[in-house]
């Protein structure tokens, strides 16, 4: 009986001993799994009402062309501080959104509205939004490497967002006439002049040499990214139209 309760370590339990222990309820029972799977955790934390509201806000900001405000959604997802102050957003909204809209209201447009409104607006707004997102992510990755001071990084990002907004107005104003040329010229000069003259009020630093070089590089990158994304969207739209016009019959 003693060997039955305490078998020799080198021999272990025999089959009969194992069955006897099971009959007496002396066996290890695997507890039920109480933790959630990785997929369930991601689903429960991503598919929430709060994130749905954020998605709707992001779509609304993209439709309105509010690129600077749209960055707040990116910062929320990446859990990083929003890089702008309200007074800084005011200048971008005034010069790049309010001022062009005011001028464009004086221009008559007798063209008929064609197509679907929402897809058309998203098609025009998406390239600029993605170009800002691309430059923002690259800049965030380069900050630790280049060791750019925080105030210079904020200035660089601020000028970059304003520049992408100016590019969007240029694209919307093409082809130029006298009114549109005056609008784009005064808007561009006004934004950069205000950023320099009122930098204490805007709480941004004057750009240093490295900041200016990076700004020119990122401005070129944003332009090329916007042009490339626009070309891809246009190509996809043309292919869709061709498939609708000439469906493949089996």
Domain boundary assignment for the chain: 38-107+116-239
Residue 216 tokens read as 């020119």
Q: What is the pLDDT along the chain (250 residues), one digit of tens a residue?
A: 444 456 677 777 777 777 887 788 777 777 666 677 787 887 777 788 877 777 777 777 666 656 556 677 777 777 778 788 888 888 888 888 888 888 888 777 777 767 777 677 777 778 888 888 888 889 888 888 888 888 898 899 899 989 988 998 898 888 888 888 999 999 999 999 999 999 999 999 999 888 999 999 999 999 999 999 889 888 887 887 777 766 655 5
Residue 14 tokens read as 């025999």
Which pLDDT belongs to residue 223? Answer: 93
- How many CA atoms are closer than 13 Å to the CA of 76, on its beta-carbon side? 13
Instruction: Report CA-CA distances (Å) from 119 to 59, 122, 125, 237, 239.
Output: 11, 5, 10, 11, 16
Which pLDDT belongs to residue 69? Answer: 62
Which pLDDT belongs to residue 5? Answer: 57
Annotate the chain with DSSP letters as a single string: -HHHHS--TTT---HHHHHHHHHTT-S--PPPP-SPPHHHHHHHHHSSHHHHHHHHHHHHHHHHT-HHHHHHHHHHHHT------HHHHHHHIIIIIIHHHHHHTTS---PPP-S-HHHHHHHHHHHHHHHHHHHHHHHHHHHHHHT--HHHHHHHHHHHHHHHHHHHHHHHHPSP-HHHHHHHHHHHHHHHHHHHHTHHHHT-PPP-HHHHHHHHHHHHHHHHHHHHHHHHHHHHHHHHHHHHHS----
């Amino acid at each position: 009986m003693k060997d039955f309760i305490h078998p020799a370590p080198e021999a272990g339990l025999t089959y009969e001993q194992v069955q006897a222990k099971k009959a007496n309820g002396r066996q290890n029972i695997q507890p039920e799994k109480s933790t959630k799977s990785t997929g369930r955790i991601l689903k429960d934390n991503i598919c929430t009402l709060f994130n749905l509201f954020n998605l709707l806000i992001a779509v609304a900001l993209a439709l309105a062309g509010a690129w600077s405000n749209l960055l707040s959604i990116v910062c929320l997802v990446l859990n990083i501080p929003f890089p702008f102050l309200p007074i800084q957003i005011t200048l971008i909204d005034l010069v790049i959104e309010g001022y062009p809209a005011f001028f464009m209201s004086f221009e008559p447009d007798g063209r008929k509205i064609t197509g679907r409104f929402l897809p058309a607006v998203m098609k025009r707004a998406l390239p600029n939004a993605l170009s800002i997102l691309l430059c923002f992510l690259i800049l965030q990755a380069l900050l630790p490497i280049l060791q750019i001071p925080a105030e210079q990084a904020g200035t660089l990002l601020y000028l970059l967002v304003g520049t992408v907004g100016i590019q969007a107005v240029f694209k919307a104003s093409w082809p130029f006439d006298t009114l549109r040329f005056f609008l784009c010229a005064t808007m561009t000069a006004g934004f950069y002049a205000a950023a320099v003259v009122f930098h204490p009020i805007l709480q941004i630093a004057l750009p240093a040499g490295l900041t200016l070089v990076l700004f020119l590089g990122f401005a070129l990158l944003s332009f090329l990214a916007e042009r490339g994304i626009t070309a891809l969207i246009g190509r996809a739209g043309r292919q869709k139209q061709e498939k609708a016009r000439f469906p493949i019959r089996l």
